[in-house]
Chains A and B, each alone.
Chain A
């Protein structure tokens, strides 16, 4: 009780550097707690303790340090980490990056209040993600299948239609034969108002607006709040999934802006920079976001994540896509080249991957020949694409008859399989298109396919 009597408000800011303030002589400060900062003009800001020693507490100010002075500004230590208030009423609401309502609506009257940092799931408590999600997109369903509880990012480039793809997945995604509760958590980090309202409209059109929770940190909002945006969003997602039993789809966009905010803090703390100035702990930091996807034993709900990130310069080896790919369970990669040639969606399947595909496909889930068809399409398309380079040099006439077939297959594959516009394809249709393409090759080339499936599904056998 005596704690309450001690004032925990200090006017001892000694130093301001970038987004950080240094407060001296503060007593009883705990690591990671939230600090309320009052400026001379009465404005209130929020900060978080990053480091403490006997004389100084280092605090990161979410809304930025503009206007903070070292005489009148006061800092009050709350003794609590950043939390999110939760109740079923959050559905349909919009919050800012630190979890305060930004839709003009009332505060949430909480059923529970939870630390947004979350805790690691015990690997023993995890349930295996294995429910096939049909997105209606062949490049995904057929070749890089998404399952419930997976984290599957979209790697995009500036100006490529990642948002359109994500929105389409959000609209079309369904688990075959089930009609359970689902909801969407949408977290915008540093994207434009135009991009954000594209998503809002898309949810509105599909009538899902009431099941979406928005976290909006737009281009002109405080940069540092981008660090808490995904954590607040995932705290809500965990509540929806594990308390309310929803299957939750979380869209996080754009992770590159998140990482830039992380870099900004790191620079302000004068830490040793890693690759391209990003901090060395970015892998660990990102994992505390991405690893919050999944399923837990004995719980009905699940969290599926689709983070979107723009690769600077279309470079997949840039630290942000690179570290993301090392943590997530695959990636969907958009290609500028395909986009120019009219691909819709312009997915380059070669660098794409779904690591959980095998557990979501096959007999009883999609179809027994699914794995084989995917492997064969990959191998054949990759070979056909190699030939394009050769043709550019020696001309098509120099190719063998067989190689010409591969070349043709690669073209047709991009036109008919990958590109599909607004069509929402069932998995059977996706596989059918796949078989039609494979039928362009002599049968003995189909070495990735079990012979019994050839007899059962190859169009050549169907007609007889």
Chain B
């Protein structure tokens, strides 16, 4: 380990001399307070360091010590329900150590080193093991935490223990003396290895109609949510963190509000996972590096998050990762690049923005994991994007568009009129529709595809018709087109709108989604027929069942929704009866 000294300080970027022999992304301790930093450029005798803590008070000439290790994440039992800052400092421990405000130079370990976990081995002495093989399991809340042979380690088991141990106690010793503990360290910027990638073919069920029915994302896929401020990115990310049907959720608050993280901290322990009946916090890892926390740590936060996600994926679990907001990560990159006086690209972002973004999204995917038992795990990444002025032509949105499979375009105009989720149904798309077709047919209904296409058709038709109305008024339209306007209004208001805060409607089962859509389109069919027989559109719109359709979302089960099909027939039949 070498010691150098500070030669320049500019905000979070510090230059040091005399650190010969250090490597890129090596962790260094900066100044008398031993602030946490990482080498991001090596230049002859100079090392450029991004410092993860506030640099006020640092002086030129203070020492800088290298540590010989790269910035790594501690992986092992105890991650679930934790809340960390961008460089995996547990915030509750910081709170105990330094009080209400985050102070500097304090560096508690990412995992509690004194807590004991019950380790049950699944291999015996003499077994041959290789990277990714399971050697034991540990209960972590309801999850079976699988202890794996770390990447690039292999050998014959010489000793294996059973019982209560801390994460750093060796629980397995190999022939060559290699000790394996429950905790492993992994450099955050390096993707963890897997055997092979597979095509995503399963829907990530979110309980949100606009997502599941209209613009789905597959498990192992990627989705982006761009939108101006107040359009509902955070609510969407939090809703997805609550209701997505994955075993593990990693939620990264990247350069956003403090109170939003507080919100999650208050809410998640109280909320119950509908699938396991257990508090949602028990499947969640939170990373909170708010806007006013050091910007270099914000840059690191998404890597800390994705590394944790990969670790659980490697155990063979489905993981969902939410990053709110990737734009703030990009801005951190820009800020540091600016301090390095690098050649700026578009809007001041460094030229490597696109590569870095793509590399991050590339860490999503459905994979066959390393290890004998061919476990299959997945990471779905859902990134919020905050375009300046709500203008989607800016670099972060554009570069993310190239790598994201599902595009949920949030719309300020919809948010203004409190149409939530404010996902614009004309601009949004999903590239997973085709690969999910079989899944929908098997799990939901044969005619799912037809229903979806019909709904999309009506919504597109509505836009055309609205243009005509704006020119000549609604009276100029024939009744059949007036009916399309009415039905698309029903789709918008009674299907697409879904309050994240409604006691019942905040989560909508796939079954219920299917029947709601089926009811609305049946109503359209029957109304068309009735109108062909001379019934006026006004009297159809007055039917009691139309009012009932407006309240379907409040019903708690799909069966009750389905009953509306019969009510439509009854109502319309009696209308025709009267007419005769």
Contacts and interface: CB of A to CB of B under 8 A. Distances in A.
A400 B228 CA distance: 34
Interface string A325-350: 11101110000000000000000001
B301 to A, nearest CB: 13
Among B102, B259, B344, B494, max chain A CB count under 10 A is at B259
B474 A398 contact: yes
Interface string B332-351: 00110010000010011000
Contact of B292 (A30, A287, A331, A356): A287
Interface stretch (A37-45, A123-131, A202-210): A123-131
Interface string A126-169: 11110000000000000000000100000000000000000000
A331 B470 CA distance: 31
B291 A284 contact: yes
B100 A444 contact: no
Contact of A125 (B100, B295, B470): B100
Interface in B43-63: 54-61
Interface stretch (B89-97, B179-187, B557-565): B89-97
B328 A283 contact: yes
A281 B335 contact: yes
A122 B61 CA distance: 31
Contacts of B416: 350-351, 382
Interface in B390-410: 390-391
A146 to B, nearest CB: 14
A444 B550 contact: yes
B461 interface: no
Given A30-B59, A122-B95, A51 B547 contact: no
Contacts of A54: 7-8, 60
A317 B390 contact: yes
B259 A356 contact: yes
Interface string A102-134: 000000000000010111111111111100000
B417 A382 contact: yes
A390 interface: yes
A31 B58 contact: yes
B92 A124 contact: yes
A175 interface: no
B435 interface: no
A232 interface: no
A353 B15 CA distance: 44
Contacts of A451: 551
B291 A327 contact: yes
Contacts of A129: 259
A52 B418 contact: no
B501 interface: yes
Nearest to A386: B417
Contacts of A358: 501
Contacts of B60: 29, 52-54
Contacts of B100: 121-122, 125, 242, 296-297, 299
Interface stretch (B262-270, B277-285, B444-452): B262-270
Contacts of A118: 101
B288 A123 contact: yes
Contact of B418 (A30, A284, A375): A375
A119 B103 contact: yes
Nearest to B554: A450
Interface string B271-297: 000000000000000001011110100
A296 to B, nearest CB: 5
Contacts of B103: 119
A382 B290 contact: no
Contact of B262 (A126, A281, A398, A399): A126
B331 interface: yes
A319 interface: yes
B389 interface: yes
Given A31-B55, A123-B290, A350-B417, A52 B9 contact: yes
Provide the main secondary structure of the chain A interface: mixed
Contact of B261 (A123, A127, A296, A331): A123
Nearest to A356: B259
A382 B418 contact: yes
B99 A291 contact: no
Among A126, A327, A395, A451, max chain B CB count under 10 A is at A126
A6 interface: no
A306 B540 CA distance: 50
Contacts of A327: 257, 291
A329 B8 contact: no
B493 interface: yes
A307 interface: no
Contacts of B499: 375
B498 interface: no
Contacts of B473: 390, 393-395, 398-399
A283 B475 contact: no
Interface string A279-303: 0110110011001101011010000
Interface stretch (A11-19, A211-219, A267-275, A428-436): A267-275
B418 A379 contact: yes
Contacts of A371: 501
Contacts of A393: 470-471, 473
Contacts of A292: 292
B335 A394 contact: no
A198 B263 CA distance: 38
A28 interface: yes
Given A31-B59, A447-B493, A280 B291 contact: no
A294 B56 CA distance: 24
A189 to B, nearest CB: 19
Among A119, A294, A371, max chain B CB count under 10 A is at A119
A180 interface: no
A290 to B, nearest CB: 8
A184 B33 CA distance: 37
A322 B55 CA distance: 28
Given A120-B101, A123-B83, A272-B348, A378 B418 contact: yes
A56 to B, nearest CB: 9
A81 interface: yes
B258 interface: yes
A279 to B, nearest CB: 8
B469 interface: yes
A120 to B, nearest CB: 5
A264 interface: no
A283 B101 contact: no
B230 A122 contact: no
A410 to B, nearest CB: 12
A399 B475 CA distance: 8
B156 to A, nearest CB: 45
Nearest to B229: A325
Interface string B98-125: 1111110000000000000000000000
B170 to A, nearest CB: 32
Contacts of B59: 28-31, 52
A393 B266 CA distance: 51
A32 B550 contact: no
Contacts of B21: none
Among B15, B228, B290, B347, max chain A CB count under 10 A is at B290
Given A123-B253, A317-B388, A451-B551, 8 more contacts: A51-B10, A124-B94, A128-B259, A284-B295, A292-B292, A327-B257, A350-B417, A398-B475
8 contacts: A120-B258, A122-B101, A123-B265, A274-B347, A280-B335, A281-B338, A325-B230, A379-B417
Interface of A: 28-33, 50-54, 81, 115, 117-129, 149, 242, 271-275, 280-281, 283-284, 287-288, 291-292, 294, 296-297, 299, 317-319, 322-323, 325-327, 329-331, 350-351, 353, 355-356, 358, 371, 375, 378-379, 382-383, 389-390, 393-395, 398-400, 444, 447, 451
Sort A-B residue pairs by CB-CB distance and give the 7 closest, nearest first.
Answer: A317-B389, A287-B291, A382-B417, A394-B473, A398-B473, A32-B56, A119-B101
